[in-house]
Amino acid sequence: MTRSDTRWIARAIVGKTENQRGFVLLTVLWFIALLMLIATTFIMSVRTHTRISGNQAHSIEARLNADAAVRLIAYGLATTPETAYRLSGRSTDGNIFACQLPDGEVALVSIQDHAGLVDLNAAPPELLRKLFISVGSQPSDADWLANAIVDFRDPDNDSLNGGPEISAYQDHGLLAGPKNGFFQSRWELDQVPGMNSNLLESIEARVTVFSRSDGIDPDVTPLDLQLSGNEIRKTQGQTFTIIAEAKSGRRGRFVRRAIVRITRQPGSPYQVLSWERGLNRLSDRSTANLPIRACA
């Protein structure tokens, strides 16, 4: 073997070794990049999970605060005469005020005495007519709708608008016909001929099935009605809608809507008739410069 052959073999071995080193280096770089990608994905996943967990914690805290505000308000109504309660700055006519919980958190609250609402089961046609006119119905339409509500609840089958009651239902595509019994919920209004979603939305916060009164207490009504003397009922409130909105952190917010009946019984001063998540935020209404009262 000549010296030149030896040199050629040496160069071949060195080149092969360098190629192997390059391949190993490239493999190591790819492995490091893969580890960095996995680490970055893991960090992002942890951050997302932490953010979601934080939002859930704030939502839970907001719900607990809203529930606490409702229960404290209900207890206060059950243990304090309503007149004195209103004098303390906590109105019962649906206006919003801020109340402070024992831990210092503040909730927005609205209390509506049902004595200020129109009872679907007890209101006479003239009061129902005024209700519909107050939300923009024409007098003739208001007359027809008021009679239709009475027809829905009364036991007979004769329409106050003329003819058999079932005819009006068939004309409006309501095959079930009148209930001929009391409303159990304000949402049953969608079973009354002539009612539509817009009209129902306009009056649903103005009516009740719980007051059992054929009139309205003008001191606690949110309605702008011209009441006659025989439509005024000064009563001690028994049933209330309480809405409380609480927030926690930047995103946690919850609205609780409850209807309670005051019983003033030992150990059970009030009865919960309805307990649901509120659909509308009180904070969407004007809440600037509200005085802060104690919730209880």
Is 80 exceeded by the pLDDT of residue 16? no
The position carrying tokens 């932490």 is 50
Contact 82, 219 (CB under 8 A): no
Q: Average pLDDT over the chain, rounded to whole?
A: 84
- Tell me the CA distances in angstroms from 251 to 49, 53, 61, 212, 246, one per residue in order: 15, 12, 11, 40, 11
- The identity of residue 70, as a single letter, is V
By the 10 Å C-beta count (0-12 exposed, 13-18 middle, 19+ buried), 201 is classed as exposed
- Percentage of the chain beyond pLDDT 90 is 48
Give the burial string for 108-136 (b: 16+ CB within 10 Å, else e): bbbbbbbbbbbbbbbbebebbbbbbbbee
Q: What is the pLDDT of residues 72-122, one digit of tens each?
A: 999 999 988 766 776 677 788 999 999 999 888 999 999 999 999 999 999
Q: Which CATH architecture has domain 125-195?
A: Orthogonal Bundle (1.10)
Is 80 exceeded by the pLDDT of residue 12? no
- Percentage of the chain beyond pLDDT 70 is 82
Q: How far apart are CA 187 and CA 6, in angstroms?
A: 100
Contact 122, 207 (CB under 8 A): no
Q: What is the pLDDT of residues 197-228, one digit of tens each?
A: 999 999 988 999 999 999 999 989 988 888 88
Is 90 exceeded by the pLDDT of residue 133? yes
- Work out the pLDDT band at 257, boundaries 50, 70, 90: very high
Q: How far apart are CA 238 and CA 79, in angstroms?
A: 12
How, if at all, do strands 292-294 and 93-100 pair?
parallel
Please report the pLDDT score of residue 222 as a whole number: 87
Q: Is the Cα torsion angle 127, 132, 134, 138 positive or negative in sign?
A: negative
- Tell me the CA distances in angstroms from 133 to 129, 143, 153, 168, 244, one per residue in order: 6, 9, 21, 21, 30
Q: What is the mean pLDDT of residues 128-151?
A: 95
Q: How far apart are CA 122 and CA 119, in angstroms?
A: 5
Higher pLDDT, 135 or 250: 135
Q: How far apart are CA 125 and CA 141, in angstroms?
A: 13
| Partners of residue 239 on adjacent β-strands | 261
CA atoms in the 13 A half-sphere facing the CB of 227: 21
List all residues 6 or more positions away from 156 whose beta carbon is below 8 Å from its beta carbon.
165, 180
Q: How far apart are CA 9 and CA 5, in angstroms?
A: 6
Indicate yes or no: pTM above 0.85. Answer: no
Q: How far apart are CA 233 and CA 217, in angstroms?
A: 5
Q: What is the pLDDT of residues 264-273, one digit of tens each?
A: 888 899 999 9
Please report the pLDDT score of residue 44 as a whole number: 67
Contact 281, 255 (CB under 8 A): yes
List all residues 6 or more positions away from 249 whose beta carbon is below 8 Å from its beta carbon.
54, 55, 58, 61
Whole-angstrom Cα Rg for the chain: 34
Question: Where along the chain do its domains lie?
Answer: 1-117+211-296, 125-195
